[in-house]
Amino acid sequence: MSTVPTTSTATTAPRKGGGRSRLSLPVVLLIAAAGLALFSLTRVISGANDLTSVGQVSGALQLAVPIGLAGLGGLWAERAGVVNIGLEGMMILGTWFGAWAGYQWGPWTGVLMGIVGGALGGLLHAVMTVTFKVNHIVSGVAINILAVGVTRYLSNYTFAEAEGGSSKQSPRIGEITDITVPGLSDWMADLQAHHWFFVSDLAGIIGGVVTHLSLLTVVAILLIPGTWWVLWRTAFGLRLRSCGENPVAAESLGVNVYTYKYVAVAVSGGLAGLAGAFLAIVSTGIYQEGQTGGRGYIGLAAMIFGNWMPGGMALGAGLFGFTDSLKLRGGAENVHAVLLFLAILLVAAVIWQLVRRKYIGAAVSAVFAAGLFVWYALTDEVPSQFVDAAPYVATLLVLALSAQRLRMPKADGVPYFKGQGK
């Protein structure tokens, strides 16, 4: 009897995890340590000691949270097969509702109402896309436009009449309690102040997450592993993800696809609304017209960079938040130092590509590395216009470099009709 079919089956069987090996925790930690060492080297050479200071890291975390929450909202919707371009509009609703309730009844009430405001935008998006089969992009853009108009109209009838408010901003909102780990915070600040290689950078990162940390920031951070557990470790999450991969098969197994899509998009809007409430209550303590500043779109970019996974999305949000914080502390000097970091990173990429015998890629990376080295050597700082554009430039670069490895849910953005598989 021939054994060829058995052998063939054994050799062609897909590996667990879709044929792609996953990095183990020790390898991830080693990569993170190498990246921090490279960043520390940049800091030592450039003299930009504020790059990894406690204040820099703390500011980056505060800027990353709204982006991460918006990205998390996008992940919920798109894992169920609904593209949510309307994250920006849902964030705007969250800022207004959060501020409106926050200045009257306290910050935590504002947080709850911000979630409600964003969820209402999410339900509207679900009605248009799931029930009426409107194009997902068109629906999202419409919500973004509608949110601006609605909040502007409501501000004229609420904030404009309130003491300390106007038609473009709310009165001051009460603060949410922040926490500092006593002893550890001071110790990390002292270590960071010595500007030692690697040790001070690690101390700056740890100090940034244990100093003046808002309780709402803690909640936002916990939502990332919480989302992973719900979507990847529960029966509910499996059914929801099946609606984004193959809704016909999901319906054949008894899943109410419409219900799961509605729930996912409502949660998506609620998370975007929470991001908006964070901006109004924690970041600024006041609602201001236009304060989202495109963070909903950047959150969507962070989700795509993370390959529709919570961990990768959090990494992308952290990257964009850190880039945004550079212009607030040290500005041109910090961004100028990042040029050196990118040049060194490209040199490492050249070596890696040469090892893998990808000579064209190595040549292109070498050209860009040389250009960045020349730019860094011939200048003392970068133009202020480039500093302001740095977060958006980083967004474009990250998306361009990560585009080759992305895999969106198969039915993402595809209209679904109940019973179409029969």
Same domain for 310 and 357? no
The residue range of the domain holding 392 is: 332-408
Is there a domain that residue 415 lies in? no
Same domain for 388 and 249? no
Does residue 145 surpass a pLDDT of 60?
A: yes
pLDDT tens string 4-35 = 444 333 333 444 444 445 667 788 788 888 88
Is there a domain that residue 14 lies in? no
Using the 3D structure, point to which of 311, 329, 347 is the last residue of a domain: 329
pLDDT for 326 equals 80
Using the 3D structure, point to which of 304, 329, 354 is the last residue of a domain: 329
Same domain for 252 and 401? no
The chain-wide mean pLDDT, for the chain, equals 87
Q: Are 122 and 265 in contact (CB under 8 A)?
A: yes
pLDDT for 333 equals 77
Same domain for 337 and 241? no
Is there a domain that residue 420 lies in? no
Q: Are 321 and 67 in contact (CB under 8 A)?
A: yes
Tokens standing for residue 329: 């502390």
pLDDT tens string 32-69 = 888 889 889 988 988 888 888 898 999 999 999 999 99
Same domain for 340 and 296? no
CA distances from 118 to 124, 171, 307 (A): 10, 21, 24
Same domain for 325 and 336? no
Is there a domain that residue 422 lies in? no
CA distance 346 to 352: 10
pLDDT tens string 274-313 = 999 999 999 999 999 999 989 999 999 899 988 999 998 9
pLDDT for 28 equals 75
End-to-end CA distance of the chain: 42
Closest CA to 224 of 302, 295, 122: 302
Specify the pTM: 0.89
pLDDT tens string 353-411 = 899 888 888 898 899 889 989 988 888 877 766 777 777 777 676 666 666 678 889 99
Instruction: Please state the domain count of the chain.
Output: 2
Tokens standing for residue 252: 């054949």
pLDDT tens string 164-198 = 889 899 999 999 988 998 889 999 999 999 999 99
pLDDT for 4 equals 40
CA distance 213 to 191: 19
pLDDT for 111 equals 97
Is there a domain that residue 63 lies in? yes
Same domain for 341 and 248? no
pLDDT tens string 326-344 = 877 766 778 888 888 888 8
Same domain for 294 and 238? yes
Using the 3D structure, point to which of 329, 353, 379 is the last residue of a domain: 329
Contact residues for 211 (Cβ-Cβ < 8 A; gap 6+): 54, 58, 180, 181, 185, 188, 189
Same domain for 348 and 306? no
Same domain for 103 and 116? yes
Same domain for 272 and 336? no
Is there a domain that residue 59 lies in? yes
pLDDT for 289 equals 93
Is there a domain that residue 295 lies in? yes
pLDDT tens string 193-238 = 999 999 999 999 999 999 989 999 999 999 999 999 999 999 999 9
pLDDT for 9 equals 37
The CATH number assigned to the domain holding 284 equals 1.10.3470
Same domain for 226 and 285? yes
139 vs 349, more confident? 139
Is there a domain that residue 28 lies in? no
